[in-house]
Amino acid sequence: MGILLTWLGGVVVLAAVFVALAYLRRPYWGWVLGGAYVLGMWWLSGPSVPVLFWIVVGIFAFAALLGGVVPLRRALVTAPAMPAISSILPKMSDTERAALEAGTVWWDRELFGGAPRWGQLLAFQCRDLDARERAFLSKEVSELCAQLDDHRVTRDGDLPPEVWTAIKRSGLMGMIIPRSFGGLEFSARMQSAVVARLSSRCVTAAVTVMVPNSLGPAELILHYGTDAQKNHWLPRLARGEEVPCFALTEPYAGSDAASMRSVGIVCRGTFDGREVLGMRLTWDKRYITLAPVATVLGLAFKLRDPERLLGGEEELGITCALIPTATPGVEFGERHDPLDVPFMNGPTRGSDVFVPLEFIIGGPKMAGRGWTMLMQCLAAGRGVSLPALSTGAAELATRVVGAHATIREQFGLPIGRFEGIEAKLGRIAGLTYTIDAARKLTLGALDAGEKPAVVTAIMKAYTTEAMRVVVNDAMDVVGGGGICRGPRNTLAHAYQSLPIGITVEGANVLTRSMIVFGQGAIRCHPWVQEELAAADARDLVRFDRAFWGHVGLVFTNAARALLLGLSDGALADAPVRGAAAPYFQKLSRYSAAFGIAADTAMGTLGASLKRKENLSGRLADALAWLYIGSAVLKRFVDEGQPDSRRAAFLWSMDNAVFEIERALTGLFDNLPLRWVALGLRWCVFPLGARAKPPSDRRTSEVARGILDDGALRLALTETIYVPDGGELGLGFLEATLDKVMAAKDAREKLKEAQRRKVLPRGAVLSVLQAAVEKGVLGPDDAQRIRDAEAARDAAVQVDSFEGRELLRGR
């Protein structure tokens, strides 16, 4: 009995040691020590060794032998296993492979690996605006904002001619074009700042500026064009002499852009009076921004060479070309109406339009390379434009509701003091802080030369979804004032435009499951892409290294998830002290949990996980919020963990942790193999899932930070344009807030006098004279109250129109 108890106790100790070594990324030594322990027990036990001993010895000896003698492992296990494992790995089409290989991998790889190195993230320096960019933002961009009247733009259905001229002359259509070609050559941080500021003023103007600087002719020419194309087109685009658009989407090719039916046939023909080798193009594109006014059309199509005039394959693949819209046969000019947000957007068509092969971006040698070109550009572009648009909308909403909830009173109190409104205000401010933190970190990566495709997909999908929540909450706060459109309504057009950001550049429902996790599972995982490449190449040595590295990672993440789960992350290192420290530990814990959850899902479902979009979507949510939480941590630490932003930081981190845990529990609830799900849940949540959303108290604290013109309100809205007080809308709201705050102390004196019955109950203005007569207030205080009440009354009004005027506006 004593020997048996010793054996059992030793097994417990051995299991603990094995888990500890796996946690320290040394699982192999667990097998070695296990084998040594069993041999030692055999020596102590003498001849009375149970048969089970030999089984245990065999397991540990075999595992240790495989880990230590690589040629033996490769011959006995890896070689026969490689075909079976290859069969369950996901198969990829050429277009999927091009998308997968686009861009780079960055911090997302650390999160996928299960043990993020926080020191590296904190040491990373995000580029700020330089002096030239700050001056341009302050002068040219602000001057353009001052010219914009969003209400007029919407009623007229277009930007005024003087605004179009200002956009072109200022060079805003060439922000990405180098100065050597006449462009502004702004950083990604500056491009984002411009779009965010413009979007807070007029979504139509922001879209007009952002599209030429996103996926389109300028970027494609810059990266892939011939010298002749660069010298011809880039200076003209930079000066605004040419207005570009890029046509990708079709009636039968939306998110699945690779299924496009637009076609080009290589042939000989006549162009400008001379016979050339060219292509005859036929296309039908829609939803193309700037198409109605474009002078040059970037076109994506499938190129075929049935006569093999180029000497290669008949099916060349997706190709991108530049077509002047004046070319005979090009149809454009019609407009779509994107939810009454009147940026130029419409269809373009062409039938048998003949152009030379030199119109292909990069020349004939780039025929069939279009999909790769597009994916490489999108790998960066998704991280700039739409996150900037989301930031502008969120900051505008924060600025508006902070003022409105202070000015607007019901039941004798500012509405911001009611808990129901506080809940909305807190979430608005918390998500605005979150969005901007993620935006700045991602822009820092882009300016450092990275093109993190998965990170930018996260930014596109999750910032636009956060924008939707923020703007919807803001509409709830302003109530009827947000419904009635007119010069006073600063939120209506942001609200109308929400579905546009959700849909373009890859609908969020697709981006979430197919790009963030679908690509992330292969591209960001430390070993999966290497396994796929080795299996395709039938490279046994390479596959052996990748496969067993993957196996070791599974053991490591399982051990880390268990131990960090038992300690709620306390065993993980934190690179700093203070309020941020426990959240570094929590994200380390959830990184390991995500790693083992992702590997388990891929291992049990194999290629079928690609079709389980609810499961892959939850894994995407976990990865996305790990990244967003990382960005919030970096922002707060970089700022010096200031008390003024502590509440917003804590709200953001509580929300991120809750979203991660909700995603993982949702995954475990729905994994098809229930016994696997139960084991995984025990490993990841040994003490149960305990994360909670931000508390009412925390939310209230954040809400109070944006009321009464608080410091948090100003800090969260530093990107947007604030007009002067003479303008209806935000400008007048700001001026009213100033007057209300100037009169705040005087009003408190008056209310205190009413509570002590020095003054009778009644409306403020009705007792004001009595307050002066009784010495409760001085004449100056009384005048401040009169000014504030007059401004308050004007600020809560909404626009109305004579019927025929309203119809003309439609």
Per-residue pLDDT, 529: 85
Per-residue pLDDT, 88: 66
Contact 663, 516 (CB under 8 A): no
Phi-psi region of 506 (alpha: psi -120 to 50; beta: other; left: phi over 0): left
| Residue 584: closest CA among 598, 569, 594 | 569
pLDDT at 232 exceeding the cut of 90: yes
Instruction: Provide mean pLDDT across the span 225-244.
Output: 96
Model pLDDT for residues 346-390, shown as the tens digit of each residue: 999 999 999 999 999 999 999 999 988 888 887 778 899 999 999
Which range (17-31, 219-233, 530-544) has the least confidence?
17-31
Angle between helices 79-88 and 528-537 (to 10 degrees): 110
Instruction: Provide mean pLDDT across the span 667-684.
Output: 94
Helices (H), 567-645: 581-605, 613-638
pLDDT at 12 exceeding the cut of 60: no
Per-residue pLDDT, 750: 87
Determine the number of helices (DSSP H) and then strands (DSSP E) in the chain: 38, 9
pLDDT at 788 exceeding the cut of 70: yes
pLDDT at 13 exceeding the cut of 90: no
Contact 214, 207 (CB under 8 A): no
Active-site residue among 450, 505, 659, 701?
Answer: 505
Taking the C-alpha atoms of residue 283 and residue 302, their distance in angstroms, rounded to an integer, is 10
Model pLDDT for residues 288-342, shown as the tens digit of each residue: 999 999 999 999 999 999 999 998 889 999 999 999 999 999 999 899 999 999 9
| Residue 282: closest CA among 295, 257, 299 | 299
Question: What 3-state DSSP class applies to 786?
Answer: helix
Taking the C-alpha atoms of residue 705 and residue 587, their distance in angstroms, rounded to an integer, is 26
pLDDT at 66 exceeding the cut of 60: no
Per-residue confidence band for 71, with pLDDT thresholds at 50, 70 and 90 = confident
Tell me what the pLDDT averaged over the chain comes to.
88
Per-residue pLDDT, 352: 95
Per-residue pLDDT, 32: 52
Instruction: Provide mean pLDDT across the span 698-706.
Output: 96
| Residue 172: closest CA among 200, 125, 128, 139 | 139
Model pLDDT for residues 40-64, shown as the tens digit of each residue: 555 555 555 555 555 555 555 555 5
Per-residue pLDDT, 22: 46
What share of the chain has pLDDT > 90, as a percent?
Answer: 68
Residue 222 sits at the vertex; the CA angle it makes with 221 and 223, to the nearest 5 degrees, is 95
Per-residue pLDDT, 44: 52
**Phi and psi, residue 660, nearest 5°:** -65, -50
Angle between helices 646-670 and 419-447 (to 10 degrees): 90
Tokens of 585: 């530990």
Which range (72-76, 211-215, 690-694) has the least confidence?
72-76
Taking the C-alpha atoms of residue 297 and residue 330, their distance in angstroms, rounded to an integer, is 9
Instruction: Provide mean pLDDT across the span 548-570.
Output: 90
Taking the C-alpha atoms of residue 115 and residue 97, their distance in angstroms, rounded to an integer, is 28
Taking the C-alpha atoms of residue 629 and residue 652, their distance in angstroms, rounded to an integer, is 8
Per-residue pLDDT, 229: 96
Instruction: Provide mean pLDDT across the span 775-803.
Output: 90
Per-residue pLDDT, 67: 58
Question: What 3-state DSSP class applies to 104?
Answer: strand
Per-residue pLDDT, 92: 64
Residue that has been written with the tokens 């002499």 in this structure: 241
Model pLDDT for residues 118-128, shown as the tens digit of each residue: 999 999 999 99
Per-residue pLDDT, 7: 47
Per-residue pLDDT, 118: 97
Q: Is 409 a catalytic residue?
A: no
Q: Looking at per-residue confidence, does 102 or 417 come out higher? A: 417
CB-count burial class (<10 Å; 0-12, 13-18, 19+) for 593: buried
pLDDT at 800 exceeding the cut of 60: yes
Question: What 3-state DSSP class applies to 437?
Answer: helix
Tally of CB atoms within 10 A around 9: 10
State how far the alpha carbon of 654 is from the alpha carbons of 412, 427, 438, 455, in Å: 33, 12, 16, 21
Per-residue confidence band for 259, with pLDDT thresholds at 50, 70 and 90 = confident
Per-residue pLDDT, 28: 46
Contact 602, 609 (CB under 8 A): yes
Q: Which residues is 303 bridged to in the sheet?
A: 264, 317
pLDDT at 201 exceeding the cut of 80: yes
CA 119 to centroid of chain Cα atoms: 23
What share of the chain has pLDDT > 70, as a percent?
Answer: 89
In a 13 Å sphere around the CA of 222, the CA atoms on its Cβ side amount to 26
Alpha-carbon torsion 618, 622, 625, 627, what sign?
negative
Per-residue confidence band for 735, with pLDDT thresholds at 50, 70 and 90 = very high
| Residue 511: closest CA among 591, 451, 456 | 456
Q: Looking at per-residue confidence, does 715 or 98 come out higher? A: 715
Per-residue pLDDT, 539: 87
Tokens of 366: 């780039």
Model pLDDT for residues 152-200, shown as the tens digit of each residue: 999 999 999 999 999 999 999 999 999 999 999 999 999 999 999 999 9
Per-residue confidence band for 438, with pLDDT thresholds at 50, 70 and 90 = very high
Tokens of 517: 């996790």
Per-residue pLDDT, 72: 72
Per-residue pLDDT, 43: 52
pLDDT at 481 exceeding the cut of 50: yes
